[in-house]
């Protein structure tokens, strides 16, 4: 019996089934490919929008830094804040400058709130009619440290604060109501300062020490110098060379200049590191200042009290008392029995001396005992001799002159001169509080940031 016709029909039916199955599979693959392409396109579009939103949010961060640098001054007094909390509290709420919808500012100055909101609330960035974004920023105060900065134009200290702010910038690509992409950046910014008086001794050109000298430090927050309050931050430095000849004990680091050297003989020791600077340390010039024409002489055993102001020549044979404030004096000379006394009253005292300065009599009495409250600034070039007396507490800045510390005296604070030398057996105790006051200000800068995009 012949079955060839039957087999051929069966084979044709199987081929049709296989073809239909193949077409179905191909249809499924095509559909899957279409969906995959669509998903990839959506993902790519979403990524594009989120990246555009990120750049908008980043613009908010950069504008925030710019606002803090150009338009913001830390609030005083510090007592308005509760700095023991994180974030810092004002009137029972976190200190906040608000630029985001739904947030309200909690800050002690209305003008600052208005300025921040005007610069950083829902600010639009637009490339063209179809490409635009908006950023909105909140700033939260995380840290507040009262301090004083030095105005480099005048060298007069002024009260301020070092602060750390958390910046929350949200970027919207498209409209805020119906954004195509959202990105959030959390950043930290802070201002800071470098201490002008950051070592016990700075001799810009050189430091030369001989005899028996101890240079150490103490922390005024722990009480007066002595006992357990003796530290190893009595650093010295020079942009030139340092020479120590004798029983010199430096309890701290020693730095010398790029082209300088450190030489020592006898029992000179340095407890910290000995460092050669890669670049010279910067010291601001003393700005030009005017002085008065009225001269005073304080006779032996006599006394005189002056208020802040401008004066000519002052000769001290007795006791000269000064109220806190700023003084501009042409010449100041202290005789053998003379004493300069800074009254223990609220405020700081800055004394500018122009032509000649000599305090080699009975020294200077700073009744408050806080070196950061008394600053002597000498713009002249003649040698400036200084006796510690019962104990000098202050900061001395004489970048054009030689400072000579003489006698068997105790000096508490910091000293900067063109050159620094000693005569006798003075001891220098660096006040670690100098590192926190009278700072050269550094503006707000970005220190950390993190990103979230949607």
33 or 373, greater pLDDT: 373
pLDDT on residue 2: 55
Q: Which pLDDT score, from 0 to 100, does residue 16 have?
A: 67
| Least trusted range by pLDDT, from 29-38, 53-62, 192-201 | 29-38
pLDDT value of position 37: 45
Q: What per-residue confidence (pLDDT) applies to 42?
A: 52
pLDDT score recorded for residue 3: 56
Q: In percent, how much of the chain has pLDDT > 70?
A: 89
Model confidence over 184-232: pLDDT tens digits? 999 999 999 999 999 999 999 999 999 899 999 999 989 999 999 999 9
Q: Name the band, by pLDDT with cuts 50, 70 and 90, for residue 409.
A: confident
Q: What does the pLDDT average to over 378-406?
A: 92
DSSP state of 308: S
pLDDT (0 to 100) of residue 5: 55
CB-based contacts of 316, cutoff 8 Å, min separation 6:
298, 332, 333, 334, 335, 338, 339, 340, 361
What is the structure's pLDDT at 453? 63
> Are 416 and 391 spatial neighbours (Cβ–Cβ below 8 Å)?
no
Per-residue burial over 209-233, b if 16 or more Cβ lie within 10 Å, else e, is: bbebbbbbbbebeeeebeeebebeb
Q: Tell me the mean pLDDT in the region 297-325.
A: 95
How would residue 244 be classed by pLDDT, with cut points 50, 70 and 90? very high
In this prediction, residue 30 has a pLDDT band, given cuts at 50, 70 and 90, of low
- In this prediction, residue 177 carries a pLDDT of 82
Contact 377, 351 (CB under 8 A): yes
pLDDT higher than 50, residue 333:
yes
Q: Give the per-residue pLDDT at 47.
A: 62
Q: From CA 29, how far away is CA 23, in angstroms rounded?
A: 10
On the question of pLDDT at 9 being above 80, the answer is: no
Query: How many CB atoms lie under 10 A from the CB of residue 322?
Result: 20
- The strand pair at 410-423 and 384-387 is best described as unpaired
The predicted-structure confidence for 426-452, as pLDDT tens digits, reads as follows 999 999 999 999 999 999 999 998 887
How many Å apart are CA 77 and CA 143, to the nearest integer? 15
Per-position DSSP letters for 37-55, written without gaps between them: HHHHHHHHHHHHHHHHHHH
Distance CA 110, CA 246 (A): 61
For the cut 60, the answer to whether the pLDDT of residue 267 exceeds it is yes
Beta bridge partners of 414: 395
In this predicted structure, the answer to whether residue 294 has a pLDDT above a threshold of 60 is: yes
Is 26's pLDDT higher than 80?
no
Residue 45 has pLDDT above 60, yes or no: no
User: Residue 175: what pLDDT?
Assistant: 80
pTM of the model: 0.82
Q: What is the mean pLDDT of residues 371-393?
A: 90
**pLDDT beyond 80 at 23:** no
Question: Which two three-digit tokens encode residue 72?
Answer: 């913001």
Whether 141 and 161 have beta carbons less than 8 Å apart is answered as no
- Angle ∠(72,73,79) on CA atoms, nearest 5: 130
Consecutive H or E run containing 356: strand 349-358
pLDDT band at 15 (very low <50, low <70, confident <90, very high): low
- Half-sphere exposure of residue 77, counting CA atoms within 13 Å on the CB side? 2
List residues bridging with 122 in a β-sheet. none
5, with CB counted inside 10 A (0-12, 13-18, 19+), is exposed
Q: What is the 3-state secondary structure (H, E, C) of 203-251?
A: EEEEEEEEEEEEEEEECHHHCCCECCECECCCCEEECCEEEEEEEEEEC
Greater confidence (11 vs 376) lies with 376
pLDDT at 301 over 90: no
The mean pLDDT of the chain is 90
What's the confidence (pLDDT) of residue 400?
A: 97
Query: Is the per-residue pLDDT at 62 higher than 90?
Result: yes
């Amino acid at each position: 019996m012949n079955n060839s016709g039957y087999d051929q029909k069966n084979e044709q039916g199987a081929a049709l089934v296989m073809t239909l199955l193949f077409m179905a599979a191909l249809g499924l693959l095509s559909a899957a490919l279409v969906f995959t392409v669509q998903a990839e396109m959506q993902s790519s579009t979403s990524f594009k929008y989120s990246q555009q939103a990120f750049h908008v949010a980043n613009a908010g961060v950069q504008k925030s830094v710019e606002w803090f640098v150009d338009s913001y001054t830390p609030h005083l007094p510090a007592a308005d804040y509760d700095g023991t909390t994180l974030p810092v509290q004002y009137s029972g709420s976190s200190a906040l400058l608000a630029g985001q919808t739904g947030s309200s500012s909690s800050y002690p100055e209305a003008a600052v709130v208005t300025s921040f909101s005007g610069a950083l609330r829902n600010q639009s960035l637009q490339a063209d009619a179809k490409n635009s974004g908006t950023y909105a920023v909140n700033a939260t105060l995380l840290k507040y440290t009262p301090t004083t900065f030095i105005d480099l134009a005048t060298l007069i200290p002024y009260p301020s604060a070092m602060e750390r702010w958390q910046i929350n910038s949200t970027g919207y690509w498209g409209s805020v109501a119906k954004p195509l992409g959202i990105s959030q950046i959390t950043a930290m910014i802070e201002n800071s300062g470098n201490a002008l008086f950051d070592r016990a001794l700075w001799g810009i050109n050189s430091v030369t020490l001989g005899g028996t000298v101890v240079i150490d430090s103490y922390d005024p927050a722990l009480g007066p110098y002595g006992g357990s309050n003796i530290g190893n931050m009595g650093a010295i430095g020079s942009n030139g060379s340092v020479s120590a000849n004798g029983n010199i004990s430096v309890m701290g680091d020693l730095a010398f200049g790029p082209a300088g050297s450190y030489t020592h003989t006898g029992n000179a020791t340095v407890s910290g590191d000995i460092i050669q600077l890669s670049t010279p340390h910067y010291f601001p010039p003393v700005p030009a200042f005017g002085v008065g024409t009225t001269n005073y002489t304080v006779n032996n055993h006599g006394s005189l009290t002056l208020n802040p102001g401008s004066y000519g020549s002052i000769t001290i044979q007795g006791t000269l008392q000064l109220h806190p404030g700023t003084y501009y004096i042409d010449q100041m000379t202290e005789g053998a029995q003379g004493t300069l006394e800074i009254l223990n009253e609220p405020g700081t005292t800055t004394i500018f001396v122009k032509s000649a300065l000599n305090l080699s009599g009975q020294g200077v009495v700073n009744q408050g005992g806080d070196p950061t409250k008394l600053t002597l600034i000498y713009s002249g070039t003649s040698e400036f001799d200084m006796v510690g007396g019962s104990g000098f507490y202050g900061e001395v800045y004489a970048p054009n002159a030689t400072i000579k510390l003489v006698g068997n005296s105790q000096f508490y604070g910091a000293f900067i001169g063109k050159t620094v030398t000693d005569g006798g057996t003075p001891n220098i105790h660096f006040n670690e509080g100098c590192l926190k006051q009278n700072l050269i200000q550094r503006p707000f800068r970005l220190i950390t940031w993190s990103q979230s995009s949607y």
